[in-house]
Amino acid sequence: MALSELYTEYNRVWIPDAEHVWRSAEILRDFHVGDNVLELLLEDGTHHYPVDPSNTRLPPLRNPDILVGENDLTALSYLHEPAVLHNLKVRFVESRIIYTYCGIILVAVNPYKQLPIYGDAIIHAYSGQNMGDMDPHIFAVAEEAYKQMARNHKNQSIIVSGESGAGKTVSARYTMRYFAVVSKSGSKTKVEDKVLASNPITEAIGNAKTTRNDNSSRFGKYTEISFDKKYQIIGANMRTYLLEKSRVVFQADYERNYHIFYQMCSCAHLPEFKNLRLCDADNFQYTSMGGDITIEGVDDKKDMEETLRTFSLLGLNKDFQSDVFKVLAAILHLGNVEIRNSGDDKSSVPPSDPHLAVFCELLGVRAEGLVRWLCHRRIVLVAETVVKPVPKERAVNARDALAKQIYAHLFDCIINRINTALQAPGKQHAFIGVLDIYGFETFDINSFEQFCINYANEKLQQQFNLHVFKLEQEEYMKEDIPWTLIDFYDNQPVIDLIEAKMGILDLLDEECLFPQGTDQSWLQKLYSYLDANHLFEKPRLSSQAFVVQHFADKVEYQCKGFLEKNRDTLYEELVDILRDSKVIKGRILLQLLFFGYTVDSLWTPYLTVMGKGVKVKPARPRVKPANKQLRTSVGEKFRSSLSLLMETLNATTPHYVRCIKPNDEKLPFEYDSRRVVQQLRACGVLETIRISAQSYPSRWTYIEFYSRYSILMSHQEADLNDKKQTCKNVLQRLIQDTNQYKFGRTKIFFRAGQVAYLEKLRLDRLREACITIQKHVRGWSQRRKYLCMREAAIILQQYIRGKRTIRAAALKQGWAAVMIQRHWRGYRVRQVYQLVRLASITIQAFTRGWMARKQYRKMLKEHKALVLQKYCRAWLARRRFQTMRRLVLNVQLSYRVQQLRKKIEEQVNIFGSFILIIQIVLKNIPGRIAENNTEILREDHEKEMEILKEEIKRLKEERIGLNRKLEEVDQMNSDLQEQVIQLTKHIKIIPELRRDLSSLQNQRNNVDRKMKQHQSFLSLYRHFEEKAEELEEVKRELQSQVEELEEENDHLKRLQQIESEAKSKLRQETSRLTAENMTVTNCLFISQDFEEQLDQKDRLIKKLQTQIKSLETSQKGTDTSASAVPKDYLGMLEYKREDEPRLIQNIILDLKPKGVVVNVIPGLPAYILFMCVRHADYLNDEAKLKSLMNAIIGGVKNVITSHHKDLNLLSFWLSNMYLLLNSLKQYSGEEEFMKQSTPRQKKNCLRNFDLSEHRQILSDLAIHIYHRFITVMEKTLTPTIVPGMLEHESLQGISSMKPTGFRKRSNSIYEDLDTYTISSIIQQLSDFHSTMTQHGMEQGLIRQAVKQLFFLVGAITFNNIMLRKDMCSCRKGMQIRCNISYLEEWLKLKDLQGSNAIDTLKPLSQTAWLLQVNKSTDDDAKEISEKCTELNPVQIVKILNSYTPIDDFEKRVTSSFVRKVQSLLQDREGSTHLMLDTGYRFQVTFPFCPSSQALELLQVPSSLRLDFLTKI
């Protein structure tokens, strides 16, 4: 169909507009060939668009609304500039989507707002996905590059370009972050963190605030990220291009210098910056020129902390950092050096200038030499050398040139040190390069920098055009479609104009060789040599500029400054002064700056030590300083580095990201069409569109075409089984011109406008169908109304026309009938009343009798309860009294023994002092004999002897007192023995109470029961008597133990008596008293041991009582099958210690879960292992038990580790570990686990060991197996979720597919994968459930596993909806709800409703409801805010913005409605994450579930080769 035939009534076109670039208009009348006017309807009235019949150029057609908002611009049916501009606007403003594909280009519009679409969850969602399967994203481009590198083993490049402020730096940063996350190596070197840490440093030294961007990159950067053979990051390398050195010494209004200067000034007060003599930034000339030293929302101090942190993270030591800051501070001080005008073209610098002194101090140079060569210049002639003063202007230029040169060298040095830090010892296998480079620029005043930037973009555009054609050719060849050459714009003439011989750059370098060369003389050469070139023009109104016709636009360049910037001269005298600095000679960094060493030569030893890494390639080729006239110019350097870059890009597979700046005011989600279209023209997007439009831009698979346009097929065509042939037949019938489409192997290729024509045909068919349906419905409705009106009219006519005369006889008969009815009805009512009254009296009598009997029984029960309470409370009171008395006696005993001990200690101390006195006296006796006479000595001796005798007498009396206290202690021991006897007597009270209780029970049974119940009670009473006898035996054992304790006590007393009669002398008396003290202490210990034994006996009595109660309850519920249990077996398996490895090998390591025996009894291994554990406990062999438990745990761990991907084996051992854990609990003897056990199981409880610690270890092992089991199921289920829940059309006849025509990359995966449906998901879930059920897994554990799987299904489906705009439609919501209902039916079928698994799908269910509900009125917004409780505001707004109509009669969600919903949700608290965490795991619990399996009946199959086990 010809394109002109589409200009029919109601279609819309685009016409040019001065304000909005393009404006939409509707066609009022069909256009025919030969018409002179196209009648259009605008918003402000009718417009006549003139048409030239000789050259029919009609305005471009507008795409149907159904095609607007596409993910890929090339999928639009009409490909032209207004369509691209409008599609971007709809996505950006209405849907708040910033990324759009344009063929192989990712267009990124800067939102000027932080969006929640860059988290790790988003990265993992895009990881492993094909490009085009999900919404456009920078992560999709990064994933495509990473995947192609891994699959094709070829290096990749991501080219990020755009204007300043368009978001290039952020986009490049996100790509590197993506690679760091998906290729996480886990190495200790943290290479990924270092790669990301290089960004803050490069931004600090290379980014600055401009009028267009607060963080504008003032240099180009190409970062190579190196990967090893496992495709994990091992290092990186950066190359930089065309640093804007002039910004160091000059900034325009409202702009800033590089960030690092302001960061340093903000930290000038810190100790490490004190020696730099810094102050506020507004005090330095180089940082205050723009007049704006701060950036709103940016804290320079915090940024400086981040810069220092990344310096340290990259391993750049403190000395290096100090050198960097010294050089930067020196540059700031150099800018403040005052140069004065001395007259006669002379200049001077005051010697007392403080900034000059600081500069010389920081760099260690002589101030005199620096001042001299700033203000003078050396001219070398043939015969002599002349030193000539220079005027102030040239001196200032020399100062600024020195500052620029220092900063440029410092920048290069830092970049190279970063490259060194990012190198790793591993060998590079491949790399992905990220190019962050400036886009095409045109300003009011364009200079040398803009010329170089546009030159670079010309080269990149040429490379881009060649790559686009290469991909197109590959696509056509893959689909077996003939390749036809397409005419495209070749910018090679522009490149030749710039870089060829006698081109602009060549003439510029030639002019720079002449000392007297000027910008004007160079411009005249351009006029004379290039005047004939049609791409070069001379401005009409200016003689200081030239115009170059670039691929994007014409650009006028001002020639002023071209020569100076290209020369980039620096006087040798100033460099020589810096070279003579002592400080510079001691610092390797400063040597790099000024001694002419290359970075490669200085760091080669270090690189050799580190191993072979990425070769460091400097951005600027090495300058040869031998001949000043042969120095390389800036243009030549840039051309060389650009050639090297193009070689690198041509050797890699490129991926393109074009960043667009939507407005100049930096307002969030504001769209300026004029600014956007300028950038689209400059970045090559429109050229891509133009190339695509010349061929076959729209491309559909046969399945997509059949699903979308089956409505246009006849019944005969739709019945064909071959859908591919059906599509061909239908298309040949609908479009007769075969040149408008081509059939490929897997796709149909359409020319521009053909998809819109098919959509028109489809819409016409739907409109006809709607009209037909409306016609029949309205006819049926009108017929129904007519029939109702006709019936009503007939009835009215019947009553009106009828002659119904009422006569007197008829009235009398009617009155008589009424009287008869009255009397008859009264009689019937009286009969019913009497019957109801009699029944009520009878019911009341029986009810009152029943209530009286109930009251009597209640009073009788209360009386009996009072009797029982009386006896019980008396017994409890006596027990409490005896306990209190025993405690009081114990306290008294302890207190008295303590007092006795204190007195003994006091006596020992007194006796020790007395012995000291005697020793002193004995020592003084010889001296006294020598000094005094014999009589005096004798008298003194007699007095002393009398004193000693009295002291001895007193000590004997105290000894007697101590003996009495020992007797009191003995009396206390006897009292304690009496208490033991009384406690033994109390045991007899228990059978007495039980006999009383049984007698009361007998009385009640005599009233309520028959004689048979009495006989059963007598048998139970005899059982109680047997238990009482057992208690008597226990009492006798306790009495025997008490007697033994008494004998031991008597023996101790005899020992005490023997020791008390030992010696009589003074020293013997002392030892005796000490022995008595020890005896008292021993008595205290014995009494304490005795008390502990009593407590143990009390606990034993309580335990016996509980056993009596449990036996009584178990006796009543004894199972009849217990009598059939063989008495010969105890449910244990005996094995020898040396057979333990064989047991573990056969029952754990070599056991296969698919065996016949295992299927019959799923928990057989757990039962066998537990029976072996029971036998080890029965033997009281602790070493054997511990060895067996450790072997079991170790064996299961080995099996799980070796088969961590085997679903059947994991399910089998999870079930068995859970069963073994329950068995250990059930047979532990603890009351809480024995409630549902049989008497036989209670009898077989573990006797000797507490295995609670081993139970905890088994529980941890079971948890580990469960998580491994869930992981394997998730990996198996994940590939089926998105195709089954979202992509498959589960509702027959309702197609949710929208015409996209997206063209995947030629290198993307094209193979037809397995098609999954919702049935595939349900079948997979059934297989999991069958496996778990077959292995005997407990239902509670199955419910937890199913709940976790349902959460995974809901989370993955929900996350894909969040990242796929094409899935946000009303019909897709219907299909999702249908699929959820299928899953709910499956839960009912498997009896798993109690798992609450369906609750995990609530976010998905509410999402499906949100896609289906009306979204237009305030009531709709309120309903959405009330019902979507499981979704956070970010998710709700994302769904509303992504809602995509499938047909023209569906409406888009307006921005005002979205704002209404946002206002209603602004107070809602909760998570702000866009995605659900698919890795979230619910906490697993292992509820206790007792087993009814009788261990004594279990047989060990011979197939298990366990003949060394013996049943006990």
> Contact 159/1338 with Cβ under 8 angstroms?
no
The DSSP annotation for 527-579 comes to HHHHTT-TTEE--SS-SSEEEEE-SS-EEEEE-TTHHHHHH----HHHHHHHH
Q: What are phi and psi of 22, to 5 degrees?
A: -135, 150
Alpha helical stretches, state H, 127-190: 138-152, 168-182
Helix 934-1008 vs helix 1011-1060: crossing angle, to nearest 10: 180
> Contact 622/598 with Cβ under 8 angstroms?
yes
Pairing between β-strand 99-102 and β-strand 105-109 as defined by DSSP bridges = antiparallel
- The three-state secondary structure class of 1163 is coil
| Strand ranges (E), 1067-1208 | 1133-1134
Residue 168 in marked binding region? yes
Residue 166 in marked binding region? yes
Residue 802 in marked binding region? no
CA–CA gap between residue 146 and residue 1020 (Å, rounded): 82
Q: Name the helix (H) or strand (E) containing 1134.
A: strand 1133-1134
> Contact 681/553 with Cβ under 8 angstroms?
yes
Q: Which candidate, 375, 416, 403, 412, places its Cα nearest to that of 578?
A: 403
Residue 930 in marked binding region? no
Specify which residues 157 forms β-bridges with. 433, 654
Q: Which candidate, 386, 343, 382, 387, places its Cα nearest to that of 369?
A: 387
Residue 162 in marked binding region? yes
> Contact 983/1094 with Cβ under 8 angstroms?
yes
Q: Which candidate, 1176, 1166, 1162, places its Cα nearest to that of 1133?
A: 1176
> Contact 1188/1135 with Cβ under 8 angstroms?
no
Q: How many CB atoms lie within 10 A of CB 1107?
A: 13
Question: Cα(first)–Cα(last) distance of the chain, in Å?
Answer: 93
- The three-state secondary structure class of 92 is helix
Please report, for residues 125, 539, 759, 1372, 1444, the alpha-carbon distance to residue 91 in angstroms, rounded to integers and kept in the order given. 22, 40, 21, 20, 11
Q: What are phi and psi of 21, to 5 degrees?
A: 70, -55
For residue 867 the two structure tokens come to 């009797």
Amino acid letter, 619? A
CA–CA gap between residue 255 and residue 1140 (Å, rounded): 81
Specify which residues 13 forms β-bridges with. 25, 61
Q: Residue 74 burial by CB count (10 A; 0-12/13-18/19+): exposed, middle or buried? A: buried
CA–CA gap between residue 1358 and residue 1431 (Å, rounded): 11
Residue 1019 in marked binding region? no
| Strand ranges (E), 790-864 | none
**Tokens 């009896």 belong to residue:** 1391
Pairing between β-strand 545-549 and β-strand 554-558 as defined by DSSP bridges = antiparallel
Q: Name the helix (H) or strand (E) containing 494.
A: helix 492-499
Please report, for residues 12, 41, 63, the alpha-carbon distance to residue 27 in angstroms, rounded to integers and kept in the order given. 6, 6, 13
Q: Name the helix (H) or strand (E) containing 953.
A: helix 934-1008
Q: Residue 58 burial by CB count (10 A; 0-12/13-18/19+): exposed, middle or buried? A: middle
Please report, for residues 294, 399, 748, 1242, 1318, the alpha-carbon distance to residue 336 in angstroms, rounded to integers and kept in the order given. 20, 10, 70, 95, 74
Q: Which candidate, 283, 304, 305, 302, places its Cα nearest to that of 293?
A: 283
Q: Binding-site residues for ATP, please? A: 162-169
Q: Binding-site residues, please? A: 162-169
